[in-house]
Amino acid sequence: MTTWHAGLYVVATPIGNLGDLSPRAAETLKRAAVVAAEDTRTSGALVRGTGSQARMVSLTEHNVDERIPQLLPVAREGVLALISDAGTPAIADPGARLVAAAHREGVPIFAVPGPSALAAALSVSGFDGPDAHFLGFLPKQKGERTRFLHASAAAASILVFFESPNRLAATLSELAALHGDPEVVVCRELTKLHEEVVRGRASALTERFQSARGECAVVVRVAPGEARAAATREMEDLIGAMKRAGARRSPAAAEVARITGCRREDAYAAWERA
């Protein structure tokens, strides 16, 4: 039997299949005075389906700082539930700032665990390693995304990120070039009707997912040696192209470092080999 206390309840909700809502999560939503959600229209149907009469409040990237002073008093007096549009809140989600504020203000925080696209993708990938690194949503700009992936691959052997279906093929192609065509698992529409989990080399999956639809989580197993070699080749190819085009050494090295994420000193030294 659950003992209910006033506080902030971080409640995981289904990522697709509504049957994944746990009994404790449903009971928490029923007992909540207020439910904070990124999209109250999307989440409202789920909340009402539990029989909850809670007031729905939107909590977005644009209003979270304004909402926090309004929501914390609710958590001091009763049950404030934080949910995301799907999955576990506060992971690549503005709700993290509400949780951080609750910690600062001494408001009790309770976890109501359950569905998570991150955990689900890792569990079906078959990749075994102690150092998985969650990247959230990748940057939209190619140069920024490239630098981000370079830095992340140096820190962990398994990378997990969420990607738009419209950018999935391009990202897989970049992974093939940047990291020596690593093994990748694409998890599309997890727990939904058209769920698909596909494992293969990034180059092969690039063709398969040229016209992907639905939510996508991607798991990458990075081979550090292959990744470093591929990154070095890309850096040397770019610095060579700039040298042949008549660029000057110093600005060329700076630009290649910006594009690839390599050290400027390495690009500078590669000029002599080009």
Judge whether 222 and 231 are in contact, CB under 8 Å: no
Residue 259 confidence (pLDDT): 79
As given in the structure block, the two tokens for residue 13 are 């909700």
**What are the strands, taking DSSP E only, across 53-108?**
55-58, 79-82
- What one-character DSSP code corresponds to residue 35? E
Residue 228 confidence (pLDDT): 65
Supply φ then ψ for residue 256, to 5 degrees.
Answer: -65, -40
Residue 128 confidence (pLDDT): 87
Residue 66 confidence (pLDDT): 96
Residue 232 confidence (pLDDT): 76
CA torsion sign for 58, 108, 136, 258 is positive
CA torsion sign for 181, 123, 61, 56 is positive
How deeply is 253 buried, as exposed, middle or buried, from its count of CB atoms within 10 A (0-12, 13-18, 19+)? buried
Contacts of 212 (CB under 8 A, 6+ apart): 165, 166, 168, 169, 186, 188
Residue 188: in which H helix or E strand, if any? strand 183-188
Euclidean distance between CA atoms 102 and 159, whole angstroms: 30
Residue 3 confidence (pLDDT): 79
Residue 212 confidence (pLDDT): 87
What residues form DSSP beta bridges with 133? 159
- What one-character DSSP code corresponds to residue 140? S
pLDDT along the chain (274 residues), means of 10: 88 95 97 96 93 96 95 98 94 93 98 96 92 91 83 83 94 88 96 96 95 93 69 82 90 86 84 84
pLDDT, one tens digit per residue, over 126-185 is 998 778 999 999 998 888 888 788 778 777 889 999 999 999 999 999 999 888 899 999
What residues form DSSP beta bridges with 221? 158, 183
Euclidean distance between CA atoms 265 and 270, whole angstroms: 9
